[in-house]
Amino acid sequence: MPTWIGQAVRNGIVTTRYPEVPASESEIPPTGRPPVPTQGPNSLRAGVSLCPVGAISERAVDQGKCIRCARCLPGGFEFLGPVEAAVLTRSALAAEESPGALSRPIPPLAPLSRSLHVFLVDAGSCNACNLEVLALTNPLYDSQRLGIFFTNSPRHADVLLVVGVPTDEMVEPLRRAYDALPAPKAVVAVGVCAISGGAFAGIEGLHDSLDQLLPVDVYVPGCPPAPVNVLDGLLRATGRGRRT
Amino acid sequence: MIGSSRTPSGRPGPTSANPDLALAYAADDGSFAVYNDYSSGHETIRPGSEAEGSRDVVATWRRTSDAWRVRPAAPVEAVEGYGVFTFPYGPISMGVPESGRFDVRTYGERILALSPVAGYKSRRILSSVCGQTVSDAALRIERLAGNFSAAHVAAFLSAAESATGASVARGELWVRALAQELQRIYNHIHVIARVAEAASQNVGTAQAHALAEEMLRVQGSVFGHRWLFGALLTSGPRRRLDPAERRALGGTLKRHAEAFERLWELFLGSRTFVDRIQSTCVVAPSVARDWGAVGPTLRACGIAWDDRLRVPTSPYTDLFLDLPQESSGDALARLLVRAHEVRASFLLIEQLLDRWPVTPEALEAPPSSLASSRGLGRVESPSGDLVYDVTVSRDRVVSIGMRSASQANFPVFALGLRDGVFTDFHFAWESFGLVFAEVDG
Amino acid sequence: MTVNIAGVVLTASVAAFFVGALGSFIDRRIGYLASSAGSVGLLAVAVTVIVGGSVTGATWFGPLGASEGLSLDALSAFFVLVASIVWTATSLYSLAYDDRRSPLLAVTYSLALGSIALLMSASDQVLFLIGWETMTLASYGMILQAHGRGDRVYSAAFVFLAFGEASTLFVFLAVAGFWVGTGTFTFGPHLGPGSLATLVFVAGLIGFGLKMGIVPFHMSEWLPIAHSSAPSNASAVLSATLTLAGAYGLFRIVSLLSSPPLWWGAVMLGIGAISALLGALFASVSEHTKGLPAYSTIENNGLILVALGVALLAESDGLTALAVFAVFAALYQALAHAVAKTGLFLSAGYIEHTSHTFDLNSIDGSVKEGSPGEYAGTIAAVLSLAASPPLAGFVSEWMILESLFQSYRFGQSWVQFVGLLSGAAVALAAGLILVAMVKFAGFSILWKPHASTPAKRTPGLGAVVAAVGTIVVAVGVLAPWVLRFLAPSASAVLGANVSAPVGSLLSVPADWSILSGSPFGIMSPPMIPIALLVGATVGAGYYLLGRPRPRRRVKLWMAGSPPGEPGQTYTSFAYSTGIRVMMSSVLGTREVRESQGPVAVAGVHAGEPYSVDLEVFDSFKLFYAALVRIGNAISDALKAWIMPGRLGRYLAYVLVVVVAVVVYVAAAY
């Protein structure tokens, strides 16, 4: 007769060892990595017309806009960027020496060097980012082992994790959530919707980027970012992110 | 015209033009169904006979400047009484990770009436894709509800193709079916995990979430994207479906199917779990029929409607699909239906992989037409019947209407929870698999 | 012969109430001032008696040739002391509270106080009965002075009168039985065991129980107060001191009956425990600012009965130490309840004054704006009634539970069992009353937003509530000394010299602790505030001297919705609906729904609004309804049989009586 304990023993330990070891292929699908031009400026020039969201310019790829739709692949791009793509400034996502800039070591946000309590706010997402963020609590990622916990109230949290493109309707609730967070606090924008509007940039009634509304401390690009990408972003807030 | 035909004569009870179809709310004369048309600037009303003939849905939602205002997603039941007050739950709560509000009328403990309020996270997607090319629009449509992306894109594309009359390669249809079935399995397991989480079945929750994560990884490895964004578009990330990879996929899925069977047996063996969800949030068949419930919610109260069987398209016409239904209409029944469907979907995928077509997988270019033409696309999304109504002109979307499974199921969720207690809320909510993103658009 | 100053003061004080009642016809302030003066006088005499021994006031020869008059011994002095504390507060409060009512309120108020003073200081049982009956009539008059007279007021007052007269009947029976047994009306001789003693005990328990509002007579307590919304000063007098008179009667009976059989104590204990539980249960689901305290009175009087019951059982079983402890517990309970309950009713009066409502659901924030005295006094009273340390109610509740814990000492297993069940009921009652008290404080003051309009300031009311609160704190913190002060009264109950159950343990100073039997529990009320103070000092020192830490200040979070929207705040009703649902079999909870007809929005069914009412029902009402039906049936039958309206039959009655008298007289001589 099967039992829960038997089931648990049979399955063994499934938890990833990230960030001690690099993310495995199963943990990070191709689209979990930023696209990089394989033929330098030629790729970039070809990519400008292929990109539906205007993430590619002749000088660099703006990872804060890229929705990983793969349309640029015929123009000489590959999903080969680093898994650790989270950054502390918006401009670093569009840096010219991308993707090297993405993995530069970054100092922790001073007061948040240890355990993090995270409050998730959906400002207007498609639900994929929500599910990827919450997947961190499943046994395969087990964010608790790294001291990352999700709270039920912003009043218990250190970090406001925002997903989705902020809609007009969510501006006030978002502001209330931010105000309810006790200082010191940090804001983590997860997914390109929160960073630049992503696929929804430019629609009337939406706020293309979260940093127009709140001071964002960490940007996690991706559409949606895979759980390890989110984990990297949260670890970066504590200065414990994996170096590449 | 509208005013007179919609004025209720006597009791404005909800009746549907076609009980089995049960698309949405209908007026007292049963003449039209309603869904949210986000694109047309004015109301369109089609008489019942016409709707009957074409089995079409008709838009009645006027798009005005306040169409995007936060609004109730289900009928508001006003309850007054001594000590009764409104308890607002949301829009931001971890119990419901999406943004949406529930106004609960209560005198404490008991839910006298529940009105879900949607619209907080409306991204104006449907109106924004008007004027875009079909393939650009698809990028937004697949991000309408991330965990139902395959169903939405498939329905949208099939509506667009039906409008333009484009023929689609057989292989392409099989890819769509594969993607949809994979996503259905993921969603059902996720729902089971969430219900178990609400019931504090900690070991079971962890195991189910782990299995759901494995399914996401399967999707990621086959289609290059964990949520199948771009998977059904020819421009999307590479799909690995050569024979060796199909064999490998079959093997992996067989393992996961076995793991699911073990897991489900354990869940059903857990008395505390079964007792808690049994007779929680019961949806009566009459309510489901009248309010137009769809999907597992409908099938859990004994009404057999599944688009894959009732309005089958290729490749479902060629496959064997067995879908037992439940009759008690409670959270347990909805979960049992989902478990059956997980099984059925694993079998479907097995058949798909066995009989994979050898025809090229490329989409034939649709003939470009000057005149605008309208097409309807329907698929069975994980939560139920999903309808797209797309008008296309010169490969560009002219207008678009959509009725999602969540829109259809919100009223029955709200009605089912009436007279329940607060502690029932999360069991009920999770068992319906409702997604605010799909309602808000 | 020295002048008996105390006796003169006693006589003058009792007379002051009656003079005040007459004076109230001229100006209601005369009545309240005279009542205040009388109360202060009684207070002084009572203290003198407890410290120095009995005092006799005016005496005269009564109708039956015996000497009767006013006197106080240590037992009656205790009750006079408690009552006079309450009356001093309510009389001063009335000066500020009663500014626009009929002078009849002041008249009946003074009269009620005078009657209670008279019965408590009566030296014999005839005067006691006279005081008892005038007390009932005066209280009836007081209830009739409620705002907005109507059927509810009259029927509530009538119910009170009916229960009151039934009570007089049984008390009369007890007195008659005592007279038959001892041949005297004085409180001196004891009545030995026997069927006569049983009659006196049962009649006394029913008669005094009726006034204390214990189950199944609890209607007599809550109904007049809640249904008529009697004036607050009257409510306090009714709830705190009228029931105290009942308790006094019960103590008197217990002290006059020797060698009680086991079942007396068991019955008292059982009834007391049921009363405590039901009182607490109904208090927790009451939404009325006066109904809730009234139900709480039922709970508290039940606890007095519990303690007395344990004392009787222990006495029958020869467990002297436990008996002594239980008597102290009963006395303490009477004191703690009377004072705290006064505070609660006066607070309800304050709420009525500022918010113009008796409904906990519709109190606005203006109470909060009032005076800090009212605020603090109410909190103290509420915490005491919820038995929070170190307040008065905590000490008595602790003592009662400690005595129940020792029911394992009883010789017979069925007595142990009764003790066990009663202990469980009392503990459950303590939990439920906590809900009730949190609800009262929460929905009247604590959880209210500040009102936009400044409240009408009535500092006099707040000051009195604050004073009552201070007494509640003092009686709690200084419990060991209060207990020693009460030793003469306890001795009077037990008929033997006993000392207070105080002692010491570890480094706590000598006699700072209460001991419940030498090897059992110990608790030191004075140490609690000291410990709190030490803790606070250490905390403050740590805070002031330590590294400054950033304050984490956040705003209210309501799941992203704007907080404080009208109609979206938790109601007092909702706070206790859980209890209504859980205890539905006891409370008879039922839901009444009324549809308002279906509604359509743009032709689409948009629901069917309805009104809803979740009602609780006191199932004892059925008992009384049946009683009324039976009574009516009997009187109808008698009417048809004895009084058919035929003259011949009536003449025959007269003839029969005349013959009977003639025969009796002839036989006597």
Does the distance separating the beta carbons of B107 and C577 come in below 8 Å?
yes
**C549 touching A, CB under 8 A?**
no
Q: Residue C322 in 3-state DSSP?
A: helix
Q: Do residues B426 and B400 lie in contact, with contact meaning Cβ atoms separated by under 8 Å?
A: no
> Quick check: C113 pLDDT over 70?
yes
Ramachandran class of C611: left when φ > 0, alpha when ψ lies in -120 to 50, beta otherwise: beta
Max avg pLDDT among B240-254, C52-66, C425-439: C425-439
pLDDT at C451: 58
CB contact under 8 A, C562 and A172: yes
Q: Is B14 on the interface with A (CB under 8 A)?
A: no
DSSP state of C124: B
Closest Cα in chain A, distance from residue B123 (Å): 7
pLDDT higher than 70, residue A38: yes
The mean pLDDT of C283-308, rounded to a whole number, is 93
Residues of B in contact with C573 (CB under 8 A): 82-83, 107-108
Assess whether pLDDT exceeds 50 at residue B48. no
Query: Which residues 68-87 of chain A have a CB within 8 Å of chain B?
Result: 68-71, 73, 79
Peptide linkage before A184 cis (omega within 30 of 0): yes
Amino acid in the structure at residue C344: L
| One-letter amino acid for residue B10 of the chain | G
Most confident of B113-122, B361-370, C209-218, C379-388: C379-388
CB-count burial class (<10 Å; 0-12, 13-18, 19+) for C4: middle
pLDDT in the model for residue A109: 57
Closest residue, chain A, to B227 (C-alpha): A128
pLDDT average, residue stretch B157-161? 90
Contact A167 B435 (CB under 8 A): no
Q: What is the pLDDT of residue B95?
A: 85
The subunits that touch chain A, with at least 3 C-beta pairs less than 8 Å apart, are B, C
Lowest mean pLDDT among A132-141, B17-26, B315-324, C328-337: B17-26
**Mean pLDDT score, B346-375:** 74
CB-CB contact of B399 with B391 (8 Å): yes
Cα B119 to Cα A125, A172, B102, B436: the distances in Å are 12, 14, 12, 8
Of all helices (H) and strands (E), which one includes residue C144? Answer: none
| Of residues C440, C422, C428, the one with CA closest to residue C385 | C440
Half-sphere exposure of B398 (CA within 13 A, CB side): 14
Interface of B with C (CB under 8 A): 5-8, 11-14, 25, 27-28, 34, 75-93, 99, 101, 106-110, 112-113
- Alpha carbon of C463 to those of C93, C352, C454, C456: distances in Å? 9, 16, 19, 15
CA atoms of B225 and B186, how far apart (whole Å): 14
Q: Which of B372, B376, B373 is nearest to B388 (CA)?
A: B376
- Rounded CA separation C422/C426 (Å): 6
Where is average pLDDT lowest: A142-156, B170-184, B223-237, C378-392?
A: B223-237
pLDDT at B4: 27
Q: Give pLDDT, residue C538.
A: 93
- ipTM comes to 0.93
Give the C-alpha separation, B217 to A141, whole Å.
Answer: 13
Give the whole-angstrom CA distance, residue B84 versus residue B198: 27
Nearest-by-CA chain C residue for B83: C573
* Average pLDDT of the residues in A183-187: 86
Residues 6+ apart with CB under 8 A from C28: C98, C101, C103, C105, C106
Residues C54, C73 contacting (CB under 8 angstroms): yes
Amino acid at C120: M
Nearest CA in chain A to B132: A52
- Say yes or no: C574 contacts chain B, CB-CB below 8 A: yes
Q: Which of A31, A150, A169 sits opposite B225 (nearest CB)?
A: A31
Amino acid (1-letter code) at residue C430 = A
Q: Which of B197-211, C406-420, C502-516 is the least confident region?
A: C502-516
| Chain centre distance of CA C585 | 27
Q: Is the model more confident about B74 or about A66?
A: A66
Which chain A residues have a beta carbon less than 8 Å from that of C550? 183-184
Put simply, the answer to whether C554 touches A181 (Cβ < 8 Å) is yes
Q: How far apart are CA A31 and CA B239, in angstroms?
A: 12
Q: In angstroms, rounded to a whole number, what is the distance separating the alpha carbons of residues C295 and C282? A: 6
User: Residue B3: pLDDT above 70?
Assistant: no
Q: Are strands A186-190 and A218-220 parallel, antiparallel or unpaired?
A: parallel
Percent of chain A topping pLDDT 70: 92
Rg (CA), chain C: 27
Distance CA B288, CA B19 (A): 9
Query: What pLDDT score was predicted for residue C61?
Result: 67
Residue C423 · residue C404 · CB < 8 Å: yes
Report the pLDDT value the prediction gives residue C272, as an integer from 0 to 100.
95
Residue C353 pLDDT level (bands cut at 50, 70, 90): confident
Q: Span A5-10, mean pLDDT? A: 85
Say if the Cβ atoms of C573 and B75 lie within 8 Å: no
* pLDDT score of B406: 87
- As a whole number of angstroms, the distance between CA B311 and CA B379 comes to 9
Q: In the predicted model, what is the mean pLDDT of residues B324-346?
A: 94
Name the CA radius of gyration of chain A, rounded. Answer: 18
B34 to chain C: nearest residue by CA? C604
Distance CA C474, CA C478 (A): 6
Judged on CB neighbours under 10 Å (0-12, 13-18, 19+), B311 is: middle
Task: Encode C459-498: b = buried (16+ Cβ within 10 Å), e = exposed.
Answer: eebbbbbbbbbebbbebbbbbbbbbebbbbbbbbbbeeeb
- The rounded distance, in Å, linking the Cα atoms of B264 and B281 is 21
User: Could you check whether the bond before residue B366 is cis, i.e. omega within 30 degrees of 0?
Assistant: no
DSSP one-letter code for A163: E
* Min distance B350 CA to chain C CA atoms (Å): 44
pLDDT band for position B410 (50/70/90)?
A: confident
The token pair at C119 is 């019965």
Q: Measured between CB atoms, does A182 come within 8 Å of chain C? A: yes
**pLDDT value of position A111:** 63
Cis, bond preceding C293 (omega within 30 deg of 0): no
The candidate with the shortest Cα–Cα distance to B88, out of A151, A180, C569, A169, is C569
Percent of chain C with pLDDT over 70: 93
Alpha carbons within 13 A on the beta-carbon side of C122 = 23
First to last CA, chain A: 47
Mutate to test the interface with A, among B64, B123, B440 (most CBs of A within 10 A): B123
Whether pLDDT at A90 is above 70? yes
Could you tell me which chain C residue has the CA closest to the CA of A123? C560
Residue listed under structure tokens 């000092």: C537
Judge: A180–C561 Cβ closer than 8 Å, yes or no.
no
Mean pLDDT of C576-586: 90
Instruction: Report chain A's mean pLDDT, rounded to a whole number.
Output: 88
The answer, yes or no, to whether residue C415 has pLDDT greater than 50, is yes
Nearest by Cα to B321 from B350, B287, B344: B344
In order of their start, the domains of chain B are 1-67 (no CATH), 125-440 (1.10.645.10)
- Residue-averaged pLDDT of chain C: 87
Share of chain B above pLDDT 70, in %: 79
Give the mean model confidence (pLDDT) for residues C512-533. Answer: 84
Indicate if the pLDDT at residue B172 is higher than 60. yes
Lowest-confidence region among C233-242, C572-581, C601-610: C601-610
Lowest mean pLDDT among B299-313, C107-121, C300-314: B299-313
User: What structural domains does chain A harbor?
Assistant: 116-238 (3.40.50.12280)
Beta-carbon separation of C561 and A177 below 8 A: no
CB proximity under 8 Å: A 201-220 to B? 203-206
Q: How confident is the prediction for chain B on average, in pLDDT?
A: 79
Answer yes or no: do B83 and C600 touch at CB < 8 A: no
Nearest-angstrom CA–CA distance, B340 and B319: 17
User: A35: pLDDT confidence band, cut at 50, 70 and 90?
Assistant: very high
Q: Which residues pair with C70 in a beta bridge?
A: C122
CB < 8 Å to B182, chain A: none
The length of chain A in residues reads: 244
Cross-chain Cβ contact C604/B14 below 8 Å? yes
Q: What is the pLDDT of residues C203-214, one digit of tens each?
A: 999 999 998 988
The whole-angstrom distance between B162's CA and the closest CA on chain A is 25
CB contact (8 A) between residue A203 and residue B123: yes
Statement: residue A103 has pLDDT above 60: no
Token pair recorded at residue C619: 């199932």
- Nearest-5° angle of CA C541, CA C544, CA C547? 115
Query: Is it true that the peptide bond before B315 is cis, omega within 30 degrees of 0?
Result: yes
What does the block give as tokens for B436?
């605010």
pLDDT at residue B28, as a whole number: 30
Q: Given pLDDT bands bounded at 50, 70 and 90, which one contains residue A185?
A: confident
| Nearest residue, CB atoms, C560 vs list B34, B90, B107 | B90
Q: Pick the residue with more confidence: B128 or A243?
A: B128
Radius of gyration of chain B (CA): 21
Instruction: Spell out which residues of chain A touch residue B217, defining contact as CB-CB under 8 Å.
Output: 26-27, 29
Residue type, C403: S
* Spatial distance between the Cα atoms of A130 and B194, rounded to a whole number of angstroms: 14
A183 in reach of chain C (CB within 8 A): yes
**A98 in contact with B at a CB cutoff of 8 Å?**
no
The answer to whether residues B116 and B101 touch, using CB atoms and an 8 Å cutoff, is yes
pLDDT at B128: 87
Contact B109 C599 (CB under 8 A): no
Cα distances (Å, whole numbers) of residue C584 to C294, C429, C509, C579, C587: 21, 16, 49, 8, 5
- Higher confidence at residue C373 or residue A56? A56
| pTM for this predicted structure | 0.85
Using a 10 angstrom Cβ sphere, with 0-12 exposed, 13-18 middle and 19 or more buried, the burial of residue C388 is middle
Which of C54-63, C168-177, C614-623 has the largest mean confidence? C168-177
Would you tell me which residues 554-593 of chain C have a C-beta closer than 8 angstroms to some C-beta of chain A?
554-557, 560-562
Q: Does A164 touch chain B if contact means CB atoms closer than 8 Å?
A: yes
- In B92-232, at which residue ranges do the beta strands (DSSP E only) sit? 101-106, 113-118
